[in-house]
Amino acid sequence: MLEAFILTVITAATPLMLAALGELVVERSGVLNLGVEGMMVMGAVAGFAVTISTGSPWLGVLAGAAAGLLTSLLFAVVTLTLVANQVASGLALTMFGLGLSGLIGESFVGQPGIKLQPANIPGLTDLPVVGRILFGQDALVYLSFVMIVVVSLFLFRSRAGLILRAVGDNHSSAHALGYSVIKVRYLAVMFGGAMAGLGGAYLSVAYTPLWVENMTAGRGWIALALVVFASWTPLRIFFGAYLFGAVTVLQFHAQALGIGFPSQFLSMLPYVATVVVLVAISGNRRATLFNTPACLGQSFVPDR
């Protein structure tokens, strides 16, 4: 029972973790991309379509990342090059993604997909209790953990990460020092798009190998909330993703067990938690200053 619960929590948390890690990097560079849901759903439909066309879930996963990246490029051009409002453009991107994915995916509805196979290491995977949890996951689950470490090292140990944080903290100063704010932000947005696409592809290729319209079902929004919940630090994304994942799973279990607890209340919890965290961190301005990108959501136009 516990093993089954943990296994479902992992599958619920992984897409959140992937998408939120991407968005964290985007927001650290000072860009607020509210289009996570749209990029995820594009990743989901592209992942599913390529998987059943080629028969390879691996190609599907790659296609998912590529689709997310391409969708994010649209956002980047509109907000970075054409300097449109980021909030409005992000919302538009979500609606665009939901609509276009529905159109592309129409012929795939109801078709059986091919599942990305979980790891099977003889000896280890068969261990009681921990075997399947630790050694029986698919590659994307392991990738999500690797990415936590990679993003942490990138942000806080590499020069490129330092530049990215500097751009998010004060874009005018970064420009004055000779860094290309726009280029850094393009790269960040594209990374965020690819990660959201991966998260989407996880849903349609590894989680439930089929396509239904709007299959992301609000996970993009939870990922966005998660970034704030984690106060822009990668390690806390991990805790937040598993917490939010567990809450989502509880919804189904509570219903199955016949607990008279309204499931709407549980689906509301991630957002309530985010509001609580926001209130808590805004009380401590000094702590907020260190992690919250000061230029978040502000457009940058160099004076040239």
Partner 1 sequence: MSSASADTGQLAERGPAGDGQPLIEARHIVKRFGSNTANDDVSIAIMPGEIHALLGENGAGKSTLVKILYGSLQPNAGELIWKGQAVEIASPAEARELGIGMVFQHFSLFEALTVTENIALALPNCKATPELAATIARVSQNYGLPLDPAAHIVDLSVGERQRVEIVRCLLQNPSLIIMDEPTSVLTPQEADQLFVTLRRLASEGCAILYISHRLEEVRVLCHRATIMRRARVVAEADPTVETVGTLAQLMVGTEIEHVERKRGTRRGPEAILISNLSLESQEAFGISLKNINLSVRIGEIVAVAGVAGNGQKELFDALSGETLCPREDMLIFDGEAVGMLEINDRRLGGAAFVPEERLGHGAVPALKLSENVVLTRHGTGEGITRRGFTRFGLAGEVVEAVTTLFDVRKGVDDPEARSLSGGNLQKFVVGREVQRHPRILIVAQPTWGVDAGAAAVIRQSLINLARKGAAIIVISQDLDEIFEIADRIAVISRGQLSPAEDADTLTPEKIGLLMAGGAEKKGAAA
Binding residues for partner 1, rule: CB under 8 A, are 158-159, 162-163, 165-166, 169-170, 172-179, 284-286, 289-291, 294, 303-304
CB of 70 to partner 1, least distance (A): 30
Report the alpha-carbon angle 151-152-154, nearest 5: 60
At closest approach, how far in Å is the CB of 237 from partner 1? 19
Nearer to partner 1, 31 or 65 (CB): 31
Residue 206: closest CA among 265, 291, 138, 266: 138
CB-wise, 152 or 170, nearer to partner 1?
170
> Containing H/E element for 201?
helix 181-201
- With respect to partner 1, which residue has the nearer C-beta, 142 or 156? 156
Select 80 or 164, whichever has its Cβ closest to partner 1: 164
CA dist 194 and 98 (Å) reads 17
User: Between the CA of residue 258 and those of 11, 48, 262, 263, 289, what are the distances in Å?
Assistant: 23, 34, 11, 11, 45
Least Cβ distance, residue 174 to partner 1 (angstroms): 8
Q: Residue 88 or 176: which CB sits closer to partner 1?
A: 176
In which residue are the tokens 């599913």 written? 48
| Cβ(168)–Cβ(184) below 8 Å | no
Q: How far is the CB of 170 from partner 1 (least distance, A)?
A: 5
Query: C-beta of 30: minimal distance to partner 1 in Å?
Result: 12
Residue pair 211/105 in contact by the 8 Å Cβ criterion: yes
